[in-house]
Chains A and B, each alone.
Chain A
Amino acid sequence: MPSANLLFQALASGLFMGALYGLIGLGLGLGWGILKQINLSHFAWVFLSAYLTYELKTRFGIDPLLCLLILLPVFALLGVLLQAVLAKFSITPFNSLMATFGLTVSVEAFIQLVWSADFRRMNSHYDELKFRLFGVIVTYSEALTMLLSLVCCFAVWWVLYKTDIGKALRASAEDPDIARAFGINASKLSLALSGACAALACCAGVCVALTFTLAPSQIFAWIGVIFAVVMMGKLASAWAPLVAGLVIGVSESMTMALIAPTWAPLVSFTLLILILLMRRSHD
């Protein structure tokens, strides 16, 4: 039985991992719930952003947070472009999954072309700086991840519930015809939302670069757990992905500490299965 300190450390690392899961799931869930698209390329954007952050830091010494500011508009634009193309075809959510899968394959190959399949680890001072919180050691990278995740969730919540654009988005997700009857321009809103989701992916990518070793194959490794995060709660929710992420992150890390690392996926996926079985029909 591991010591209390070790358990707390595991809990903390689970929370930070969960915050990252939540941040990645946030953008995916928004697109799924409002645009009715299952955008697999979301994962490609996350890792593209991570690799670009790595590149900017390693080659030009740019601080990762500054990288974030530089990359956000780039990815927002990418998101808008993607939606502009997708909107020309009327596709079912499932077909959007397949179409974006193709895009993800391309981006993964592109990443491998530029950065090779070697493992890449970004070295930043954020990793070296640590502090103690309730007896647990936390790196600045982890703290930053948690902070960014909370900020993004709050921002999404605020936009969705406190601004006109957010209300318009929620309305057109529920009843696009009547929303249009009241002057809501659904196509313009979709472009903006797609840009926002890509920007969220960019943010997540910076966090990934801060805390993880990168490899192109990673893109596909995360799909399963992030889908679990998104499906556990309501789609297009500001806080549900974070909560689900924390639940999964902690259950994984505790399983790792208490039993063995290799048992970790069992908990999250069994939880997902149970939740799916117990949900009532939405439509």
Chain B
Amino acid sequence: MNIEQQDFYTQAILSLAALVGLTSFLMLGQGRLLRLIFVFALQGFLLSFTTALAGFSLDNPHLYISAVLTLLLKVIFIPWMLRREVILMNTQRDIETLKNKTALMMGGAGLMVFSYYVLHPIVQTTSPVMLNALAVSLSVVLLGMLLMITHRQAVAHVVGFMSIENGLFFAAIVATNGMPMVVELGVAFDVLVAAVLFGIFFFHIRTSIDSLDVDRLNRLHEVDK
């Protein structure tokens, strides 16, 4: 299959998928919190753009609503909230030292290959384009998890959490042209509530352990020592 033979929309989706995947890798290797939040906002913007493009190309007006919701939540509200938190905690200049960055990036690449491997069976029933889009979405989800495992800052965990949601949204739009409206609104509502709760949590964690480093959350054990 040659990419030039595809229509414009498919080509655009493939490029956007590549860019979304790229932003995930950028986040993975990022030690500075403010830049991490910026890249996250960028990923949100790409997602919102993809949604609008799908809405335009498929003539599906409800995708515009979803694009606006994504823009408001993932590009404006959540990054604003996280940025405020970083500045409040005075951690904007800290650089988190990530152990063994090379291995981390290799691991990320491995996860991407793994996503293709997992989703390969569906290629029999659908176009390779769909496989690419779905595999990139899954790898964004997995890379978000890897981000949460390797970073120690609570803010980075929230970015990872939300970037997992981004990956899911991308899959929903590209593979199925958006979920039914009621589901999409429900998911957006959940994300909004989750973001507000994270804000409340930052406040509690800050007041109780005076830091947003999750390594300090270590009082509870599986068995008593």
Q: Do these two chains really belong together in a complex?
A: no
